[in-house]
Amino acid sequence: ILGFSTPPGRLSMMAFILNALTCALALLYFIRRGKQCLDFTVTVHFFHLLGCWIYNSRFPSTLTWWLVHIVCTALMAAIGEYLCMRIELREIPLSSAPKSNV
């Protein structure tokens, strides 16, 4: 069903890309470590590969399936790592005065 020539194929590919973007946000909220983003991204896509293999009773062999998933893996890892690094590199407040509005 994945393909550039048909509207359902293009819609499916866009859904995979939007899923990669939302999963990158999930990495930000659940993982919060830039160094672990690639590990969790590859793990999620590996489990997806296993699920597709079990569901279809055969290993995915189409080139478009592999290209879409490689692009989605790269997008999810890169955007997730970028977002996590922005959180990690925030300044730590060092004020020693207690915060009170008396």
Residue 101 banded pLDDT, cuts 50, 70, 90: low
Its pTM stands at 0.80
Average pLDDT over residues 41-61: 94
Mean pLDDT score, 78-96: 85
Radius of gyration, CA atoms only, the chain: 19
Q: Residue 98: pLDDT above 70? A: no
Residues near 53 by Cβ (< 8 Å), separated by ≥ 6? 59, 60
pLDDT digits (tens, 9 = 90+) for 58-86: 999 888 889 999 999 999 999 999 999 99
Higher pLDDT, 4 or 10: 10
d(C-alpha 97, C-alpha 67), whole Å: 55
Residue 34 has what DSSP assignment? G
Per-domain residue ranges of the chain: 34-86
Can you read off the two tokens belonging to residue 84?
């996590």
Place of tokens 């020539």: 5
